Structure 1
Amino acid sequence: MESVVYDDTIVYYNSVGSGLPILFIHPPGLGRRVFDNQKKLSKNYHLLIPDFSGHGNSISPLSDDIVKQYVIEIKQILDKEHIDQVVICAYSAGGTIAQTFVHLFPEKVRGLVIAGAYPKVNSIGLDFMYKFGFYMLNNSPKKLAEILAFSNSRNKVYKDILFHHTMKSTVAHWYAFYEDTYHYDVIHWTDQIECPCLLAYGQRAYWVHKHKKYYQDNPNVKVAFVKNAFHQLPTKNWEAFNHLINQFMRSL
């Protein structure tokens, strides 16, 4: 594991492979292990897979804007690795971090991939998912970790890996990650995405992919659907998701 240290923050991350770099942004709670199946891409690319602070063993004081806090953590990793441009690949709520990074540091981003992108929470189904997360964190973080691990795995081994890693997350950071991405609204930035961008959606995750309408006027944004898939593309549909990433990377 590599790490970057600044102020009172330590962010641990995997750095594997070589070639054009891809940095992955995980959703609340799950941490970097949610991208275990994307490590197969290291044969062709340099992968940076962090546990953002409050996840895994990464630590920091909690700021009043965790989205910008995590944007700074990405910048610190890129600076340490001496990377001028990177492809950002985010999953679910991690997409809010990604879109904010692209807005604040457009010169650093070679391309953008988001599985389950939305610029703001604007559907009943997605709103329910967040409110369920709030409720479970307030009442039983362990049970929420079990649910997230189950919903993102196809076998017991990986389910146990995800569960134990999620249980390392601090509830305060986990909750703030949910809360800030629930309230963030980056719709006014979607037409400013100037890098090539791929939005990947599970065909059956209608409560998320209805948000694609907010990106449709930007010619730099392409949308792909994975047939018969729900929201968990990096984990349950990783073959198709990795294929989409490979196609995207070859187009850059």
Structure 2
Amino acid sequence: MVRDRGMTLRLTVLPWAVAMATVFAILELIAGLGLSSLGYDQLLASMRTPGYLPAIMISLFVVCTIGAWVGLSWHRHVLLGEKAVAVLPRNNSETFDPYFDAVMKFTALTLGVVMMIKYLMVPLVPVLGLAGPGAKVISVAINALLVTILLRHALILPAAALGKPVSMSTSWKVTSGFTGPIFSIAFVVVIVVETARMLPAGNLAALVLQFTAVWAGLILCFGVITELYKVRTRKLAA
């Protein structure tokens, strides 16, 4: 992905900006959240705000839809050589539905793993007597483990983009020899996002930087998924 920066920007920047602007508008209109005072942590804390649940469900659908459009175009660009149309990803209507189904399955897995981490593992931190830097290190390690688990299941996405669907269990099996490198990349992604979260909240510039860091992390993850698929294609076809 880094080798084709221009196409990466064309495929992702405008759709990501549209997705974030739409999410912000939904949160403002439905949940009544003051966007100018939001930071990443404040956004998570706002889940208790009346009206937040329908707002976040609609926002999640918007992000998944635009994410599927971008992801499908990216995978087909790298794996098949398809180009973007003008400044937007190509409209692959014939393969969008199966790819969107794969995105929704992956989103469900993500939410399930996140809930497991939040409710089962995070409470162990104070029990173990960790605080301050120690707790932060444990948090980064746990989040990197989460990203690693997700990336090892994520070959369902490029496979769906090419019309050659595979199961999550197959994806997990064929990536077994790459756990170490995947964890290393996941660790870098988590460090980037966590560093952005340390920016002072209360201004729009900080929020933009925080979500830019998330965008960069997603781009890196998409690159990893695509490269893994190319390396493991023979095993997936077996």
TM over 0.5: no
More helix by proportion, 1 or 2? 2
TM-score, normalised via structure 2 length = 0.31
Would you tell me which structure has more strand in proportion to its own residues?
Answer: 1
Greater relative contact order, per chain length (Cα 8 Å cut-off, separation 6+): 2
